[in-house]
Amino acid sequence: MESIKVAALCGSVRQASYNRGLIRSAIEITKGSIAGVEIEDVDITALPMLNTDLEGGGRFPPVVEAFRQKILEADSILFASPEYNYSVSAPLKNAMDWASRPPNVWADKAAAIISASGGSGGSRSQYHLRQIGVFLDLHFINKPELFIDAHHPPGKFDKNGDLIDAETKERLKQVLLSLQTFTLRLQGRSKLKN
């Protein structure tokens, strides 16, 4: 089985956020039922706000260098994007901007977006993220999409932000399988070794 490394980024910095819970669930799903997918939850909370004065001699602050290296080494990206004021969160946009500084380490990677938010479930943030991805040369899967209204009906997440709804877990699994297939196709590999 061909293997892929996925860097997962949560746009919310709260530990009990529903989007962070989606990443925890994605990791659990891949360990239990999807061979060949390794997801790393890449923390973006320590990144300073983008400031090119912090760059010097082609180098970035150590925490930014470490983050950029994780993105560079990943085969694909899984974004868990809450919706703030009809768009992506500031921490997520900041992380995307840091990794886009020359050389752009997002380039030519497969990506997927999952969202849990109120009302629209984060759909507007996902579409903004896709627009940003055009400039960054990210290639998003188109289907399936996963937007979760985290509040209606209640009971999809527990008090710690962990996903507990079986139907939503199955939908998340389908996103991960699609990301795996698309990543391998984009890299010219197939799911099964010949």
pLDDT per residue as tens digits for the range 41-61: 999 999 999 999 999 888 999
Amino acid identity, residue 119? G
pLDDT of residue 194: 39
19 contacts: CB under 8 Å, gap ≥ 6: 10, 11, 12, 80, 81, 82, 114, 115, 116, 117, 122
Q: What is the pLDDT of residues 150-162, one digit of tens each?
A: 877 788 999 999 9
Q: What is the pLDDT of residues 92-140, one digit of tens each?
A: 999 999 999 999 999 999 999 999 988 778 889 999 999 999 999 999 9
Verify cis geometry, omega within 30 degrees of 0, for the bond prior to 153. yes
Q: What is the pLDDT of residues 175-191, one digit of tens each?
A: 999 999 999 999 998 76
pLDDT of residue 33: 92
Q: Do the Cβ atoms of 17 and 161 come closer than 8 Å?
A: yes
Verify cis geometry, omega within 30 degrees of 0, for the bond prior to 103. yes
pLDDT of residue 11: 96
Domains annotated on the chain, with CATH: 4-186 (3.40.50.360)
**Residue 155 and residue 33: Cα distance in Å, rounded?**
23
DSSP per-residue string spanning 10-63: ES---TT-HHHHHHHHHHHHHHHH-TTEEEEE---TTPPPP-GGG-BTTB--HH
Taking residues 145-170, report their average pLDDT.
Answer: 90
Q: Which of 184, 190, 192, 193 is nearest to 75 (CA)?
A: 184
